[in-house]
Amino acid sequence: MIVVPPAIQRIPWKLIAVLSAITGFGLLVLYSAAGGNWSPWAWQQGVRFLVFLAVAMAIGRFPLRIFEDFSYLAYIGVLILLIAVELLGFVGGGSQRWLNLGFMNLQPSELMKVTIVVALARFYAQLPPGNTRSWTALWPALIMIGVPAALVMLQPDLGTALSICIGGIVVMFVAGLPFWWFGSAVLAGSAAVPVLFSFLHDYQQKRVLIFLDPESDPLGAGYHISQSKIAIGSGGIGGKGFLNGSQSHLDYLPEGHTDFIFATMAEEWGLIGGLALLFAFFLLLRWGTRVAIRARTRFGQLTAAGLTMTIFFYIAINLMMVMGLAPVVGIPLPLFSYGGSSMLTIMTCVGIILAIENDSKTGTRRFH
C-alpha cells in the first residue's frame, strides 16, 4: 500500500478537479470561439487560472482568524476605493468602474462582493444571540449593504449592485433574523419596483423591457437574447460539434467569449454539455454549502454560506440571462467566461471557503 504523505493529502484534490474541469471546458470553448485558436483568449485564461488557483490555495492555508480580524478594515478600504472610482469617473467625465494600478485594472466593486459577506459575517458573529431579533441586528447591516450598493449603482452597474445585496441578505438570512422581516421586505420591494425602475438609466430600463418581450426588437436591443436563444436552441441535444458553431463563429452571437459564452458552448456541445457544466457547478456549490454547515465557527458558517451564494448568483443570473429568463445585466459565468476580474472574485471566494474548511478540520466546534 502506498503511503500518501500528509502534505499531499492536505491538498483538496477533489476541489481542484472540479475547478479545473469547469475552467478546462471553458478553455475549449474559448479555443473554438477564437476560430480554433489558443490566442487571444484561451491561453491567457489558462495561465490566469493557474495563477489564481495558486492564490486560492494560498488563501486557504491562512488561519481563519486573520479574515475575521481584517474584515472591517478590508470593507472600509474597498469602500474608499469605490468612492475613489466614483470621484475619478466624475473628474474624467463619464462612468468608470476600475482603477488602473499599472499592472492590472482593479474593479473595487468586484472586491466588494467578497468583503460585504466577510464583514457582515463578522458583524453577526459578534452579535449577542439575544439581539438577533432586535433592531440592532438590522440597521448596521442595512447601512453596510446599502452604501456600497448605492455607489455601484451610480457607476452604473446593476448586476454587481444586485450581487452585493444578495450576498449580504443571504448572510442576514442564515444569521437567523426573523423570517417575516424578509417576507415583508420582499413585499415592500415588489411594491417599490415601479419607483426603482424609474431610477434606472434609459439603457437599463430598455434592457428590462426587452427582457420582458425580446421579440419586440430582434435586431436592436433584443438582439443579444434572440441570438443567444438561437445558439442554444440550434445546438439540440448533442450540439453541432466542436468548432462547428455557426452563431459564434459568424459573429451573430455578441460577447460570445464573455457574458454569452454559455450559448457558444451550448451551440457546439448541446444539452449534454450544458447539463455537464451545471453538474460541475452543482458540485462546487455543494462543497461550499457543506463547508458552511460543518464550519467550526459562526463566522465561518456565515462567510461560507454568503460566499457560496455569491458564486451561485453569478451562475444563476448569467444562465438566466443567456436563456432569456433575465435581463441582460452583464454578469459573466464564473471560471467559464473570459475575464480576470470575475475569476479573481470567484477564486478569492473559493480560497476563503477553503480556509474555513481547513479551520473546521483543526479544532472542535466552538458552540457544541
What are the residues binding other proteins (CB under 8 A)?
Answer: 129-130, 132-133, 170, 173-176, 227, 229-237, 246-247, 250-252, 266-267, 270-271, 274-275, 278, 281-282, 285-286, 289, 292-293, 298, 301-302, 305, 309, 312, 316, 319-320, 323, 325, 367-368
Please give the Cα distance from 299 to 304 (Å, whole number): 8
Measured in degrees and rounded to the nearest 5, phi and psi for residue 366 equal -70, -35
| CB distance 140 to 86 below 8 Å | no
> Cα–Cα distances in Å, from 61 out to 12, 35, 70, 301?
11, 40, 16, 17
Q: Are 26 and 33 in contact (CB under 8 A)?
A: no
CB 255 within 8 A of CB 221: no
- Report the residue number, 138 or 174, with the smaller CB distance to other proteins: 174
Nearest distance from C-beta of residue 15 to other proteins, angstroms? 17
CB of 139 to other proteins, least distance (A): 18
Q: Which helix (H) or strand (E) holds 100?
A: strand 99-100
CB of 295 to other proteins, least distance (A): 9
For the bound state, the minimum distance from the C-beta of residue 126 to other proteins, rounded and expressed in Å, comes to: 13
The nearer residue to other proteins, 41 or 269, going by C-beta atoms, is 269
Q: Which is nearer to other proteins, 24 or 233 (CB)?
A: 233
Cβ atoms 346, 49 nearer than 8 A: no
| Least CB distance to other proteins at residue 145 (A) | 17
Q: How far is the CB of 101 from other proteins (least distance, A)?
A: 34
255: Cα separation from own chain's centroid: 18
With cell 481542484, the residue in question is 16
The residue (of 153 and 322) whose beta carbon lies closer to other proteins is 322
Least distance in angstroms from the C-beta of 244 to other proteins: 11
Residue 88 or 283: which CB sits closer to other proteins?
Answer: 283
Contacts of residue 107, defined as CB under 8 A and 6 or more positions apart, other chains included, come to 97, 98, 341
Looking at residue 218, what DSSP letter applies?
T
Nearer to other proteins (CB atom), residue 74 or residue 230? 230
Nearest to 229 by CA among 192, 254, 198: 254
Torsion-angle region of 152 (φ positive above 0: left; ψ -120 to 50: alpha; else: beta): alpha
Residue 35 region by backbone torsions, left for phi larger than 0, else alpha for psi between -120 and 50, else beta: left
Residue 36 CB, shortest distance to other proteins, in Å, is: 14
CB-wise, 120 or 266, nearer to other proteins?
Answer: 266
The residue behind cell 436552441 is: 233
Cβ proximity to other proteins: between 99 and 323 the closer is 323
